[in-house]
Structure 1
Amino acid sequence: MSKRIIPLLLLIELVSGQPIEITVFDFTSIGLKNNDNLVKALRNSIEKELMEAKKFKIKQKHSIMPILKREGFQLDECDTECFIKMGSLVSVGFVISGKIKKFGNHYNLRLNVYDVDSRQLADKFDVKSNEGLDDLIAQAPTKIMSSLDKEVARISAEKKAAEEAARIAAEKKAAADEAKATIDLAIANAKERIAILSNVAGAPLEMIIGSLKTQMDEYNKTFGQGAPLPMDDIVKELSTLYLERERQIAAEEAARIAAEKRNAEEAVRISSEEKAAEEDARIAAVKKTAADESKASIDLAITNAKERIATLPDIADAPLETILGTIRAQMDEYNEIFDQVAPLVIDDIVKE
């Protein structure tokens, strides 16, 4: 099984509450010649005590020896890296090795606890006795379980710390992604709103966007990527430019509309004046034509009157009423023929 799978199994065991699996390798000895059976008995007794405690799951010797033999495992030559490698191969969380020494009646059992997950020697301690192997068997399992309890607590704390770090990292990444999306949206909106403008408060589009990005970079450098971004402050400059330009555009549009209105009103005024002038000219022409026609009619009437009156016998002796009556008769006849409606200047005719 690969190194990557072991940590996962160990974490699953911690989370699920399942006992962590350990194995106890054979012990080596110093000062116990021809007592291999006693050493094996000590190892087996300690393993049995651990199994009966039911705090940990023990992978027994008979299930791991085929693997160790296949790998050419040599107990006397094994160091920390070797024990960890063997623990990884047999898929356990911890490996326990031991070396027993005897000096007279004094026994000293050095036990090493290897953490396969972290690939290190997790703990080492001595079990001492002047009362023989039975006393070692009584002491060793308790000390081993105490050591393993500490290691499990350490692993659990590290796991929680790793989970918290992962949670914080995920939150930072989410905040960073959200911040980036916000920045991208702000930049996209900026591009859309001022893409048609060649100049915004004297700054080209590239300069404005560059300024915004620079502020983002400076903020992230100061507070760390993923920190809440003060978007209001960051886009303040851009918003100010928007408002200034929009006011400018609104003022230009208002001026354009006002100019168009003035032009339209002027055009209407000129058109009205031209029409009025044309109407006045037409009326004047009609009046002049009528006046000319009236004058011509009067002139003709006077001429006719003169001619008719001149033919009257003894006109000089005729009374005024007769003369006027004759003239009026001539005028009526003329008007009936020519539909003359203009008033006749009778006084002028009479004078003549």
Structure 2
Amino acid sequence: MDLIIKNRIQIVVHISIWILLYGLSFYPILNDARPIPSDVFPKLIVIIVLFYFNYFYLVPAYLLRKNVLIYLLVSLVLLVVSVLVLNHFYQPKFPTNDFIHMQPPTDFGYMWVYRSFISLGIPYVISAILRMYVEWKHNENLRQSVEKENIKSELQFLKAQLNPHFLFNTLNTIYALSVKKSPDTSEAIVDLSELMRYMLYEADKDLVPLNKEIDYIKSYIQLQRLRLADSENVSLKITGEDRGRAVPPLLFISFIENAFKYGTDYKGKTFVKINLDVTDESVFLNVKNKIGIFKEPTSNSGIGLENIRNQLELIYPALHKLEVKNDGENYEVSLTIYQKKQSL
């Protein structure tokens, strides 16, 4: 009964069922201004008992456990016994003699038993259907909940892989500055602290404001500029209104990180062009870099990009488009997320 009390929809459904059954039972009698037969109320009590005995015990114990034959046999016996008991104690009196001449008492008794079986059987079947639907709905909600938890766990796992990878590359940048005894080393450490603050306090959220993600990208690019010998061809162009938009945290950084990683040659000359365009229907990112000196790929070199691909499939399974172009001289990534403007 706790399930019915807690679930308002189920309460409404059960009340509606009983109003309908009582209405069907009493409407013909009240409409014809006939006296209420003596078997009506006992029959309704039996219907209620059978309904909830079937709902709470028989269906879970047999039908939901795939014991269909046992369920059918038990149900048939239960209905037959209930009809016989009602027939023995509450069969209404035979009608007037005029009607008796038209229909023998024996036929009347058989007809009463048949109608009683139908009147008990229909609510009984309804209770089975209703309980099976409730169980199906519960299992479906549980499946969706588990699926969401699995997706959330997988995303957390992907972020756990991404963050140390990003931190490792950034520390390499600061190390390079310290080796050269660059006066920008302290500024780089401050920039890194800002990046880490974002990663610690924002990266665990499902969505973050797009403007915060943009600020994170700007801090990262500033950190990269500090280590570059030539950053003249590094550009970031942002167009459109970023307010009222939300994206998963750290969604774009792997594309940008890889552009700097592979777009810088051994002399420190870098060509990286980043365009972020926000429209009413989508968020578009284009990252293009010249391919620098060839680097032998390692088992971990593509972990960031692979993680982002997996995140996109999980979060935007049919609402994104990712294109990668490589002509041997330039490497270009274009990502479109089809997302309407929303309030946070």
* Same fold, judged at TM 0.5 (above): no
* TM-score relative to the length of structure 2: 0.30
Q: Which has the higher helix share?
A: 1
* TM-score relative to the length of structure 1: 0.30
